[in-house]
Amino acid sequence: MSAIVTLKKGEGRALKAGGLWIFDNEIDTVTGSFQNGEIVIVHDFDGYPMGRGFLNVHSKIRIRMMTRRTDQEIDEAFLRMRVQRAWDYRKATVDTASCRVIFGEADFLPGLVVDKYEDVLVVQCLALGMEQFKITIAALLKEVLAADGIRIRGVYERSDANERKKEGLPKVKGFIGGEFDTSVEITENGVHYLVDVANGQKTGFFLDQKYNRLAMQRICKGRRVLDCFTHMGTFALNAGLAGAADVTGLDVSQFAIDQAEENARRNGLSERVHFRCADVFDELPKLAAAGERYDVVILDPPAFTKSREATKNAIRGYREINREGLLLVADGGFFATCSCSHFMTQELFAKTIREAARAAHRRLRQVEFRTQSPDHPILWAAGESYYLKFYIFEVCNER
């Protein structure tokens, strides 16, 4: 018999709205024996059944819900249903050659991410309770894909994120099943990349910007482009493929620059797309002082904050980098900027850009606002699933 967790009166508001998390301070009692990571039954304060989820007393996110039905067994048939629905959704919404096939809570498989890079799957497990299911889910996903004629040649695990410490878990990295070549060539928006799933950031590549990169292609044709925090050269290469006259990509990591240069060669763009290892925060003021101006400036920085407490410092960082970027945009040029932090809300990010524009004496005309690619679906009741904010502006100097 599963242990029963009872919520305090008035708590569980996010859960009742459709979310999947229950925090430690929302729980009144736990009745029955359990081990961390086990599935428990959740009741409201008055005994009303709320569903089943896995419990971990080491985590502030005490319970992550798996189902709203207390009589639902979390067995292989249940997991197959979840996997099949996740894949059916991707087939309906995105190019599935390379995409995120499972996005944790937004696919009702909390704490688990699976990315597909052509014929390779990369698994990342960030929750103790999901550890018991990750191998089964990977195998089920291979079966579901095989039914559509897609053969997966290997699965690699990248559960080496710091978030695992909050769950009392060690970092894990390595093959699930047989070994294979972990360098995978993918094609996105017509651009070819070599993705290193074993050593690249996160699971090897940032799939969430797929359609934002595509949106920049039509803006960059014939223009001089500066791509900041270029990583593997993604925005820069999309600009080059679209016919940009000249593209410069900056990143502080030499490893990333080496990858970007290799990707430029792979796409035959080395003559027009160039990369330089530099700290963007140091480099942008130098470029402005030298009188450099670009038709398009793209800012794709890492998350400046991964906690609510650090948001104030992050705002300063975003404000400064956006001000410096705006100073480099030629009159009538375009400026693309984004934040990949959940804690930097759309409203807060917009306010920060507005302040940066005022400080740089630039007028902004919004071209469009975008979010993460649909293979990273936003579950409205789970705010943590909405993290990427992406703006494109036309920039006009104040006169």
- Residue 23 buriedness (CB in 10 A; 0-12 / 13-18 / 19+): middle
User: Is residue 211 a contact partner of residue 188, using CB atoms and an 8 Å limit?
Assistant: no
Cα separation of 32 and 103, whole Å?
Answer: 32
Residue length, the chain?
399
Query: Annotated catalytic residue: which of 99, 125, 220, 340?
Result: 340
Provide the strand spans (E) within the chain.
4-7, 21-23, 27-31, 39-43, 49-55, 61-67, 98-103, 112-117, 120-125, 154-159, 172-176, 183-188, 191-196, 224-228, 246-251, 273-277, 294-299, 329-339, 362-370, 389-397
The CA-based diameter of the chain, rounded to the nearest angstrom, is 73
Known active-site residue 340: yes
CA distances from 147 to 81, 134, 139, 179, 190 (A): 14, 20, 13, 23, 26
Q: Residue with structure tokens 């036309």? A: 394
Tokens representing 249 are 């990509």
Q: Is 199 helix (H, G, I), strand (E, B) or coil?
A: coil
Known catalytic residues are 340
